[in-house]
Amino acid sequence: MIITISRQFASGGREIGKRLADALGLEYYDRELITEIAGQSSLNEDYVAQVLEKGGFANFAFSFAHTMPLTATTPNTVTDVLVAQQKVIKAIAQKGDCVIVGRCADVIAADFHPVKIFVYADSQSKIKRCREREHEGEDLSDKKLLKRFKEIDKGRAKLHDLLSSLPWGDKDGYDLMLNTSNIDIKAIIPKLADLITEISRTN
Amino acid sequence: MIITISRQFASGGREIGKRLADALGLEYYDRELITEIAGQSSLNEDYVAQVLEKGGFANFAFSFAHTMPLTATTPNTVTDVLVAQQKVIKAIAQKGDCVIVGRCADVIAADFHPVKIFVYADSQSKIKRCREREHEGEDLSDKKLLKRFKEIDKGRAKLHDLLSSLPWGDKDGYDLMLNTSNIDIKAIIPKLADLITEISRTN
């Protein structure tokens, strides 16, 4: 069984992924993928994280990534990261029995028929979650936090939309979409795990 | 516990609603609401069904419904249907412990904190479901069936969007969205019922 979790920033997708992996005895992949992708692409981890995690990709010139020739002296680094990401995700999906959070795994691992989940929440609960759990950004106003969430999600959407004809967050691209605004994540995990297991039988 | 099921036409939302009601011992409301709404509004059942079920509403002139004075000789019938719908749904929600399929119940019964579910599917599985279960429309081509689905969903969206600031089918309006394209509905019901029960505790 493979589960992919796409998620709005601060919606609790990572927590759901981790807890599902624990409940179902599956391998869990999230930030550790950055290390592997950096290794594959021979690029600095911070740079890979910037491209794939921090919404940094949204600020890169797309035209650059697509039009510059790929030579040793003009490293087409964004493309390198994306190619490495595909290799790493496919290798993980090949092994099976895992939860992959983010990294466009829903699209990249599509041939392995994952159960594709999208996790989202309303602004207030995302702010609350962020303030409870993250140290970074503690000093930001609600307005600035929401702007940051939007930037990060925009980066995720852009990366995803490079690979898929369905926009990031479009329900047609997922088996299940879960709104965590009013949910006790820990409490629902056993039931969610059971439902996903049942869905995966026919997927 | 109140569950509202919004659904794309032919996605299996009605089946999910009925089976959930059976599994959880809840009252089930779907087409029978038409009779009550017709009674409340003193209008013909077929007409009410046309407005609320068959996508007929999409063909009515909105300007008519909103600008004609409400007198005995110029019955503002679309508005009458909508007002009656609100009364009937609120009375049902007040009693609690029910599954309501369609009828904008997610919006109308919002004060009663229902678990709001949206059921959808891809075109191929909707065509398959329709051909397996419905006698009406059997002679239509796939293309014409899809056009019919689209018309009906457009009617549902218009009715919904009269009452809500969030568009019909927008994930932010629901707690859970379920894609039935690759799902054995009967098989997942016990697990789905458990998950919804857990969600309803904090909702």
User: Mean pLDDT of all residues in chain A?
Assistant: 86
Question: Quick one: pLDDT band at residue A126, thresholds 50, 70, 90?
Answer: very high
β-strand A176-179 against B2-7: which pairing, if any? Answer: unpaired
A4 φ, ψ to 5°?
Answer: -110, 140
Chain A residues with CB under 8 Å of B189 CB are: none
pLDDT over 70 (residue B23) = yes
Size of interface A-B (CB pairs under 8 A): 80
Q: Is B200 in the A-facing interface, judged by CB distances under 8 Å? A: no
pLDDT of residue A155: 87
Chain B residues with CB under 8 Å of A23 CB are: none
Name the residue among A169, A179, A195 with its Cβ closest to that of B191. A195
State the best of B116, B128, B179, B181 to mutate against chain A, taking most chain A CBs within 10 Å. Answer: B179
**Cβ distance of A178 and B178 shorter than 8 Å:** no
Shortest Cα–Cα distance, B175 to chain A (Å): 5
Mean local confidence (pLDDT), A152-177 = 93
Model ipTM value: 0.86
Look at A59 and B38; give whichever has higher pLDDT: B38
CA distances from B129 to B102, B134, B150 (A): 18, 8, 15
E strands, chain A, where?
2-7, 27-29, 98-101, 115-120, 176-179
Q: Is B199 in the A-facing interface, judged by CB distances under 8 Å? A: yes
How far is the C-alpha of A19 from the C-alpha of A14, rounded, in Å?
9
Lowest-confidence region among A132-136, A137-141, B86-90, B128-132: A132-136
Mean local confidence (pLDDT), A138-143 = 82
How far is the C-alpha of B123 from the C-alpha of B181, rounded, in Å?
9
Over residues B84-131, the pLDDT tens digits come to: 889 999 999 999 999 999 989 999 999 999 999 999 999 999 999 988
Look at A75 and B159; give whichever has higher pLDDT: B159
Look at B68 and B189; give whichever has higher pLDDT: B189
pLDDT of residue B52: 78
Name the residue among A182, A192, A198 with its Cβ closest to that of B187. A198
Residue of A nearest to B195 (CA): A191
Residue of A nearest to B190 (CA): A195
pLDDT over 80 (residue A186) = yes
User: Mean pLDDT of all residues in chain B?
Assistant: 86
Chain A residues with CB under 8 Å of B176 CB are: 176-179
Share of chain B above pLDDT 70, in %: 86
pLDDT of residue A168: 96
pLDDT of residue A124: 96
Q: What is the DSSP string of B74-103?
A: S--HHHHHHHHHHHHHHHHHHH-SEEEEST
pLDDT of residue B75: 44
Look at B74 and A104; give whichever has higher pLDDT: A104
Q: Is A172 in the B-facing interface, judged by CB distances under 8 Å? A: yes
Residue of B nearest to A184 (CA): B202
How far is the C-alpha of B18 from the C-alpha of B57, rounded, in Å?
25
Name the residue among A122, A195, A202 with its Cβ closest to that of B195. A195
pLDDT of residue A76: 65
Question: Quick one: pLDDT band at residue B76, thresholds 50, 70, 90?
Answer: low
pLDDT of residue B123: 96
A49 φ, ψ to 5°?
Answer: -60, -40
Residue of B nearest to A199 (CA): B183
pLDDT over 90 (residue B188) = yes
Chain B residues with CB under 8 Å of A178 CB are: 175-176
pLDDT of residue A134: 64
Angle at A163 between CA A157 and CA A164, to 5 degrees: 80
Q: Which two tokens stand for residue A194?
A: 């059971």
pLDDT of residue B60: 45
Q: Is A122 in the B-facing interface, judged by CB distances under 8 Å? A: yes
pLDDT over 80 (residue A38) = yes
Q: Is B124 in the A-facing interface, judged by CB distances under 8 Å? A: no
Structure pTM?
A: 0.88
Mean local confidence (pLDDT), A19-38 = 92
Instruction: For residue B96, count other CB atoms closer than 10 A to its CB.
Output: 13
Question: Quick one: pLDDT band at residue A181, thresholds 50, 70, 90?
Answer: very high
Q: Is A124 in the B-facing interface, judged by CB distances under 8 Å? A: no
**Cβ distance of A187 and B202 shorter than 8 Å:** yes
B177, containing H or E segment: strand B176-179
**Cβ distance of B194 and A198 shorter than 8 Å:** no
Most confident of A19-23, A56-60, B145-149: A19-23
Residues paired with residue A176 on neighbouring β-strands, in sequence order: A117, B178
Residue of A nearest to B180 (CA): A175
pLDDT of residue B135: 61
Over residues A76-117, the pLDDT tens digits come to: 677 888 888 899 999 999 999 999 999 899 999 999 999 999
pLDDT of residue A138: 64
